[in-house]
């Protein structure tokens, strides 16, 4: 809820403090990769175009005034979310679980490029657009963030150590599918474009079937 219009469309008050959850590294995937709908939660998967902040230096209890010194740059992110799991409405997991709902394999496409910190600070109002099958669903600017990047870094690092390579997703603007009950299905193509960085495109695929290899025995 880091954009006012997203809070409004979900009927939620603006938070007094940032809210965050931890996502496993197994959720990260590349531009152009297929993202399989999870077999346990295939029906209410949603897109969220976002700016991702890549941490470049390890730190804890980082003051806002020094936050940019810990940033390597910014990239494009799609914070895919299984809304039923997130809200505790999936019978397979009967509790609200935002981290699980956002942490399925492949649910965090990132890329295709990194805007270095000096440029990111120069262009602090980046246009952000999300399209599904060529139709614009989200259009906003990072100037509309409720909590700016230094505030997010300071807040998160007050709870845990941020390490080089960690990524903070900064929230999504209005226009998400959950607001209108329009969820992603297999074959949908989602493209998130951030001005000065590029376009991140991924295609949704049907859930995996059968056993999958998980490593050496």
pTM: 0.94
**Structure confidence at residue 209 as a pLDDT band (50, 70, 90):** confident
pLDDT above 70 covers what percent of the chain? Answer: 96
Give pLDDT tens digits for 110-126. Answer: 999 999 999 999 998 99
Give pLDDT tens digits for 167-182. Answer: 999 999 999 999 989 9
Give pLDDT tens digits for 186-205. Answer: 999 999 999 999 999 999 99
Give pLDDT tens digits for 61-99. Answer: 999 999 999 999 999 999 999 999 999 999 999 899 999
Concatenating the DSSP letter of every residue in 106-129 gives: T-EEB-S--EEHHHHHHT-S-EEE
**Structure confidence at residue 217 as a pLDDT band (50, 70, 90):** low
Architecture of domain 4-21+33-205: Alpha-Beta Complex (3.90)
């Amino acid at each position: 809820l880091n954009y006012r219009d997203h809070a409004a469309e979900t009927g939620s008050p603006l938070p007094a403090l940032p809210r965050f959850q931890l996502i496993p590294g197994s959720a990260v995937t590349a531009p152009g990769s297929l993202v399989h709908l999870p077999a346990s939660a295939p029906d209410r998967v949603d897109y969220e175009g976002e700016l991702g902040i890549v941490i470049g230096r390890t730190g804890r209890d980082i003051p806002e005034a020094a936050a940019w010194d810990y940033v390597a740059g910014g990239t494009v992110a799609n914070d895919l979310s299984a809304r039923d799991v997130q809200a505790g409405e999936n019978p397979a997991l009967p509790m609200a679980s935002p981290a699980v709902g956002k942490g399925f394999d492949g649910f965090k496409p990132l890329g295709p490029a990194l805007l270095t910190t000096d440029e990111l600070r120069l262009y602090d109002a980046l246009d952000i657009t999300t399209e599904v099958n060529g139709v614009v669903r989200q259009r906003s600017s990072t100037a509309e963030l409720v909590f700016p990047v230094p505030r997010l870094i300071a807040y998160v690092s007050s709870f845990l150590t941020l390490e080089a390579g960690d990524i903070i997703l900064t929230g999504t603007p209005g226009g998400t599918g959950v607001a209108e009950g329009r969820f992603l299905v297999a074959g949908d193509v989602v493209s998130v474009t951030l001005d000065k960085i590029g376009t991140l495109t991924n295609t949704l695929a049907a859930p995996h079937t059968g056993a999958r290899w998980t490593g050496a025995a």
